[in-house]
Structure 1
Amino acid sequence: MQDKEFEMNDIVEMKKPHPCGKNAWRIIRMGADIRIKCEGCGHSVMLPRNEFAKKMKKVIGKAEI
């Protein structure tokens, strides 16, 4: 399986949308766990890195340097 590449502040699309209706999440913390924040309602969720990699579909927007 190909490793998915993502960085801090990237906007990612998950396999399932958030209940608020948006499917865009911003990566706000990276480490052993990854915290993502919904771009629609602002709710944040922390997931273990391997679980996040399984649930992430693709990177929508790259972080601006």
Structure 2
Amino acid sequence: MYDLGDIVEMKKAHPCGVNRWEITRMGADIKIKCTGCDHIVMLPRREFDKKMKKILEKKADQA
């Protein structure tokens, strides 16, 4: 499952040409930031689950 700070790939690429997004906020809504142009998008969790393709990088565990 995804977590705060993970890099994910969405089904559709961003218009800037990059398809890597960093999860910056989690809750009922999920805020993601484009790693190419720093554009921020906020999606309801249900919509995010439908549009996410896969997790590219997991945030390093701090244990």
TM-score above 0.5: yes
Q: Distance in 2 between matches of 1:36 and 1:20?
A: 15
Instruction: Give 4+ residue runs of structure 1 displaced > 3 Å after superposition.
Output: none
**Which residue of 2, 22, 28 maps to 1:26?**
22
**Which residue of 38, 42, 59 maps to 2:55?**
59
TM-score normalised by L of structure 1: 0.92
Percent identity over the alignment is 64
Correspondences of 1:33-44 after superposition (within 5 Å): 33-44=29-40
SS in 2 for 1:57: strand
Could you tell me which runs of 5 or more consecutive residues in structure 2 were left unpaired when the two chains were aligned: none
Q: Distance in 2 between matches of 1:63 and 1:52?
A: 18
Could you tell me which runs of 5 or more consecutive residues in structure 1 were left unpaired when the two chains were aligned: none
